[in-house]
Structure 1
C-alpha cells in the first residue's frame, strides 16, 4: 500500500508514526496481540505519514520519508519481534530528517507534545524572548518529531515522551544540530534515568539498551529543569545560551584580523564594572565593520540588551536623525515607539531605565558631527559594565564623543593580502613567478585595503595589471565616494586639489599655494587626516591611489561630456581637447598637463575665458624632444588670479604684457625661452608690476635670460633659482631689498661677472655661486648663511667677515 494514499478518515490518519501512546503499545503487548493480525495491520495506518499542503503562516515542514515496510519493521521492534532485530542493525532504525528538503533554516526550534505541557505561557514567553533578540524561531506541538534545519533545538522532555526521532537526536546531536537543549518538564534528570526501566518492557532488548544509553547521555547534556519559581531566570538563561550558539555559527574567516580583534577585546576589558567606550578608526574598506560584527558575535550573548546600528550615516540620510534616534532608544528600552513618544519618557524615565541596563551598543559608520550629538548623549546613562563601540573614518568624532580609547585599524601586510587575492582569477597559463609579480603589484596598489583587494580579485588580471603598473589611478566605483560626503567647502576644495594636482608633494609648498587661494589649509589637512582621506609623513602629503581616483571621478562628474566645464583638469587628452577646440570656461580653476606624449598648437587667446584659473602647470615627466604646447601666434592673456605659473619649456621670449601677477605666489619656468619676463614697461594698460605675493621664482636653465625684473617689487621672495642661466650677466642691486630671501642659487651662470658688493640679507641661509667661472669678487654676506658653495669660480679673496 502506498503510504501517500492513506485514507484521511481512517483510524490511522496521523502525520507521523510515533503519536501512539506508551499505554496503547503496552496494552497490545500484554494482551498477546500479534501485529500481523488484521486489526494491527489496520492500526499501522496511523504510523504512515501522508503528504500535507503547507499551512499558511508557517514555514514549510519537513516530513520523514520512508516506506511502509520500514514502519512495519519499527513496529515489530516496538512489540519485541526478534525477527526484525537483525534488519534494524543493518538498516539504521533511527529516522533522520533530511535537511536537503527544507528551504527554511531556523535559529531555534522548540518541540513539545500537546497535552504533555500544561504551562503554555512559559513557551510563549520563551518564544517572545528569543524573537526579541532577533532569533528566528519555529515552535510546534503538532509535529513534535519533525524537526527542520536549525542551530539550536529545544525539546521539552516528559515522562511519556518516547520517540525514535528523539533517540536519533540524542545519538547524533553533534551532527544534525549545533546544540540540543533538553528542558525537563515535570521530572528531574534522575527521574528520566529511572523511567528508562520502561524501555525494558517497551522495546526489544537491544533497542532498550539504546534508549537507556540515550537517556543517560541526555542527563549529561546541557539542559534545564523547569520549576514553578524559576521561569524568568530560566528564560534568560536559555536565551543567553541560544544566542551564544547562534552567534558562534556566524563566525567568518577574517584573514589577518584575529590579532586586531584580540587587541580590541583587551581594550574593552569585559570584566571591568565601569562603562567603557572604544572608537575604531580607519579609512573606507579597511575592515572596521567586519571587525565589530565579529566582536558583536563574540560578546552579545553576555549582555542583557544588545544594539547594533549598522551604516548609521546612511540610515540617517534615508530616515532622518529623529527617526533613527527614536529607533535606537526603542531597541535600548525594548519598548514600542508609542511608549517613547509620551511626554516624560525622554527625561527622568529614560535615564533611570538605562542606568539599570548592562548593554552592548555598536554604532557603525558615525561620521557626521550631528550623529555624535544625537547619539552620544544617551551613552552616558548606561549601567555598570556596559560597552560602547563606535566605528568612524573621522577621528574627530571620538574627540567630540569623549571616547575612552581609539583603536586604528591598520592595513593588511603583504602576506595576509596574498591570502585574500583569489588565485583562481589568474589565467592558468601564468607561472608562479608571474603570478607572484602581478600579486605584489596589486597588493602595492591596494595598500593592504581588504575591500580594494576584493575588487581586484574580481577583475580580469591582464588589463588590470597594465593599469596598476601605470601611474594613473584606478577608479573603484561605489566604495570611496562616501568618504567625500560631509566634507565642508574648505575640505572638499583641498581634497580635490590634492587628488588632481598635489599628491606626494611637500606639505609646506602645498600649504603656501592653497593658503593664497583663501583656503584654511592647516585646518583642512588636519581634518582630512582625521577622516582618513590624507596621510602626511616626512612632510609629504599623500593619499591612496584609489582615493585619488575617487577625487578625480568626482571632478569628472561635474561635466562628463564637456571637460571645459569642470573645475580641474589633469587628464592630458581632456586638456588637449579643451585647448584645440578652445572650449575653456570660467569654471576651470586648475590645469596640470603632462606634455611628454603630446604636441599641439594653441590659440593666443586660449586662456581668455578661464578668468578663475588659479593653478597652471605644464610639465614633462619624460624628456622627449618635439613635444609640448606650441604658441605659433604668441600668447595674449593669462588670468590675474594665477597663484601658480609652472611652465616647463615655455616657448616664448616673454610673458604676456597685460598679465598682472599681483596674486602670483610661485613662478616656475625651467628650460624656458624667456629673455626677460615682461616685454616693455608694465605701466602699459595701467598695470604696474607688483610681485608682492611672490615667494618662489625658478628660471633655471633659461639659457636666453639676460635680465631680471626689478626685484624690489617682490619683498616676500624666499627662493630665487637662476641655475644654468648662462646668458645672465649681472644681478640688479634691487636684490638687496629681499630681506626674506632664504636661498639664492646662481650655480653655472657662466657669464655672470658681478653681483652687488653687499648681499647682507639677514634671512639668507643658502648661497650657491659654484660654476660662475667669470665671477671674481665675492660679496659681503650675512653671517647667518649656513651653506655656501663657490667651487669653479675665480674668486681670489673672501670678505673678512667670512674668515672665521
Structure 2
C-alpha cells in the first residue's frame, strides 16, 4: 500500500515525464531488492501472536515512532515471531532491516568491532547498499545512523539483544528515525527495553504454545508427511508434556524421535522423567544422548564450544583433519535439529550451545584440566600455567604445558600473547594447530607427527629447514609472516594440499619442491613483494590455483615441461614478468588467466591459442603489450584445434595494441557471437542492468528493459 501511495504522489508531482519514469523505475527496483525472510519450516502458533502485535504496531497516529519489545525465555520463538511480523509489514516502509543474533555478533571474539559491523549492516540493509560509508567507531556509527535515517520511515528489528549498550548503539532513541518508524526488539532481559528513549513503547510477552499447538508442531517433526509409526498416544502425550510448549524443545525432541520404535520412545520418556521438569537443558540433552554416532557427538561438542558461527568449509577442514567424516556427521546433526547451516556457516540455538558447553563442564566441575575441551580464557591459563595469575599481562604458557597432553588433537590459541622466552613443546599427537600472531619458539618431540593443519598467520616464526616427520601435513598457513625469507624443502610433506604464503613481504625465494609437489592444490604467494625466484619448472600436476598477484619482483614465469591437468586459475596481477613461456599450452585445464597491470609484458606466445578451456583472459593495464599473437597452424597436425572456444571475457583495456583484427578470426567464437548479436528477445525477470558494450549489431530490445548501456 505504501508503495502504491508513493507512486501516486510521484505522478502528481510537477516533473517531466522522463524524470517521473526514472523515479518510478528506481522505486520499483528498490522494492524488488527487498525480499521477505524465511520464517520457519513449520510456523505453528505464530499467526495468533503476530496479529496481536500488528494491532499494537498499527497506532491511530501513523506519525508516531513506536518501539515494541518481544520479551520471552530462550527457545520460545521470539525470532520466528519477529520474522513473521517483518514479512507482513516491511513493504509499508521506505527502508527495513532485520539484524539477527545481535548479542552473539556484538561479542564475537573473531570480530572485536562487532557493534560497528552491526551498525554498518543496519545502514546497508535500510539503504540497500546506497551511500556506503566505513564506520570507524561506535560513536561515529551512532551519528551516521541519525544523519542518514532521521527523515526515513523505517522498520528495524533487532533480534536477541541482551545488553543496553547494544540497543544504545543501534536504535537508542525515537529521534533517530523518521515519522511512522517502527522498532522491534527481541530480548530475554526486560531491563534492555527500559533503556529505550521514547514515550511510545510497548512490551509483548511471547508465550509458549498451547497444548494443541504443541502437539501439532511436535508431530510435524516426529511424523513428517503423516508417516506415523505405531506409537501409543499416551506415550506421545507424555513426551510432548516434558517440552512445556517450548517450540525449540518440541522441534529437537520430534526430530530425534523421527523414525524410532516404541522402545526408544519409552527410553526417551524415562530419561525426561529422571531430569528436572523445569530445565529445558534436560530436554535438549536427551536428544544429544540419543545420537547413535560417537563422532556426531564429538563434532556437536566441538561446534558448541569452539566453532558456532564459523564457516562450514573451515570447520570441515579442521575436523576432517582430526579423523572425522565431517560431512556425514554434520548431516546427521542437521537432521536431528541440533545444528543448522545458514549462509555457509554452521549455527545452533544459544540454548543448544549452552547445553553442549554444560556437558563438557560437567566432565569435571572443579578441575578444568580434566575436561575434554577448554574455551574460557581463565580455564585455559589455569591449565597452561598451573597457577592463577589475576593480571593478564603477567600470564605465560609453561614450556611443558602441552607436552603431557597425549590425547590433544585440536589446539587453537586466539589473542594469546605468550611472554615466556622458552620454547613451547607440543605433543606429536596434535592434529590441528592454530596460533596467529605467535612470537614463541615451538618444538615437537622427536618422531612422526600427526599434524594435519598448521596455521601460524601473522606470526614471528622460525621455519625449519625441512618439515621432517610431518608426513600427514595437508594445510600450511604462514600468511603475513614477515620473518619468513625462504620457504624450505617440502619433500618431507608428501600429503601437502594447501600452502598459503600471501602477504609474506620479506619472502624472497623457495625450494624447487614448491613447484613439483604431487598433491599440492593451492599455492598462494600474492603480495610477496620481494619474491623474485620462483622454481624454473612447474610440475605440480594436481595444482588447481596459483596466485602470484602483486609479487612485483617476479620477472619470469616457469616452464611447464608436461601437461598439468589440475590448474584452473593463474593470477599474475602486477608482476614484472616480460613474457609467458611457449609451454603455457600445457596448462590444458586453465579457465582463468589474469595478467592485469603486468606493465613489462611485451609478448604473448602463439601457443596460448591451445588453451581450449580458457574462459577469462584479463590483460588490462599491460601498457607494453602492443601486439596480440597471430594464430599459427600446426603443419604436422592439420586437424589440431586451436583458438578459444570457451572464452567469454577478454579485457584489453589500457593495452597499446596497434590493431584488433585478430578478434575477427574464428578463434573467438563467443566474442564474435556477441558482435553479431542483433536482438534480445526476452529479459530474465530479475535482471536490473544490462551492459551490451561491443555489440555493434544490437538494435532490438524487449519492451520491459529497465537499464541498458551499450555502444
Into which bin does the TM-score normalised by the smaller protein fall? 0.3 to 0.5
The two structures have a TM-score, normalised by structure 1, of 0.39
Larger CA Rg, structure 1 vs 2: 1
The two structures have a TM-score, normalised by structure 2, of 0.44
Structure 1 or 2: more helix by fraction: 1
